[in-house]
């Protein structure tokens, strides 16, 4: 049986992923064009990125089940992050390039539209389409625990990327918004990967005693699918 058949609205995923990647790139293509900068390399990179995301999604069953989460976060989460940043600057045109530049630091990040729209766009498709969350959809407490760990790793990666990469990339990849967006995107994906490994270890450890006692149904004894 094709595992994709068990994922709701799976046929909508490839075009939706491509649209989110293209939307992110199109905004920066327009910005470079309006500033009189070379826009063709960014346009080409955007198209290549969209094709790569769709290809990775179609081949995800050859990869770890965590690949689904990373692909969804790069596309949907990245688009939400860009959109939220635009909302932040619409509300306050003098807002810093990144909320972490604010004197409040990570508190400003947690209170920004950039963070909340990123989560709002990324979490629903992650729950619907990610294989590593599929066994948890009927276990709300475990699902919430898993998402909390994943989102914590993502935010931690964004904060680390801001300090390690953000300023340098903002200066070297104009306009600064593009460099900062790429740095934060890389950081959130890098932070999620170890968070998902920790999540797996904790959920397996918590479920093992119950599974041995027969307290869990057979479908729950293996907390994550193996494809």
The one-digit pLDDT tens for each residue of the chain (227 residues) are 445 445 557 788 999 999 999 999 999 999 999 999 999 999 999 999 999 999 999 999 898 889 999 999 999 999 999 999 999 999 988 888 887 776 676 677 778 899 999 999 999 999 999 998 988 988 999 999 999 999 999 989 988 888 889 889 999 999 999 999 999 999 999 999 999 999 988 887 766 554 444 444 444 444 444 44
Residue 166 CA from chain centroid, whole number: 17
| Helix ranges (DSSP H) in the chain | 13-34, 40-58, 66-72, 78-91, 106-110, 113-129, 140-161, 167-172, 176-213
The verdict on residue 1 lying in a domain is: no
144 occurs within a structural domain? yes
> CA-CA distance, 179 to 104, in Å (whole number)?
22
- Examine residue 190 and state whether it is found in any structural domain, yes or no: yes
Residue 111 lies in a domain: yes
- Residue 225 covered by a domain: no
pLDDT value at position 184? 92
Asked if the structure places residue 5 within a domain, the reply is no
> Range of 157's domain?
14-220
Residue 113 domain flag: yes
User: What is the model's pLDDT at position 226?
Assistant: 44
Query: Model-level pTM?
Result: 0.83
Give me 128's structure tokens.
Answer: 């619907």
Q: Note whether 122 and 147 are within 8 A (CB).
A: no
Is the residue at 84 inside a domain?
Answer: yes
Q: What is Dmax (Cα atoms) for the chain?
A: 67
Query: How many separate domains does the chain show?
Result: 1
List, in order, residues 6 or more apart from 181 with CB less than 8 Å away: 24, 28, 78, 81, 82, 85
């Amino acid at each position: 049986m094709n595992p994709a058949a068990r994922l709701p609205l799976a046929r909508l995923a490839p075009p939706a992923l491509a649209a989110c990647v293209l939307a992110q790139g199109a905004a920066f293509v327009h910005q470079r064009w309006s500033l009189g900068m070379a826009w063709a390399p960014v346009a080409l990179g955007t198209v290549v990125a969209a094709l790569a995301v769709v290809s990775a999604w179609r081949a995800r069953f050859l990869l770890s089940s965590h690949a689904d989460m990373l692909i969804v976060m790069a596309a949907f989460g990245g688009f939400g992050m860009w959109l939220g940043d635009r909302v932040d600057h619409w509300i306050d045109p003098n807002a810093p390039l990144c909320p972490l530049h604010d004197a409040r630091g990570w508190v400003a990040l947690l209170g920004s539209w950039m963070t909340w729209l990123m989560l709002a766009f990324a979490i629903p498709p992650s729950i619907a389409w990610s294989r590593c969350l599929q066994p948890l959809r009927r276990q709300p407490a475990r699902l919430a625990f898993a998402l909390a760990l994943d989102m914590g790793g993502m935010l931690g990666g964004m904060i680390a990327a801001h300090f390690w990469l953000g300023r340098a990339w903002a200066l070297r990849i104009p306009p600064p918004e593009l460099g900062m967006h790429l740095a934060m995107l890389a950081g959130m994906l890098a932070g999620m990967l170890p968070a998902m490994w920790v999540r797996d270890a904790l959920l397996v450890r918590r479920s093992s005693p119950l599974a041995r006692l027969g307290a869990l149904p057979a479908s729950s004894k293996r907390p994550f699918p193996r494809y």
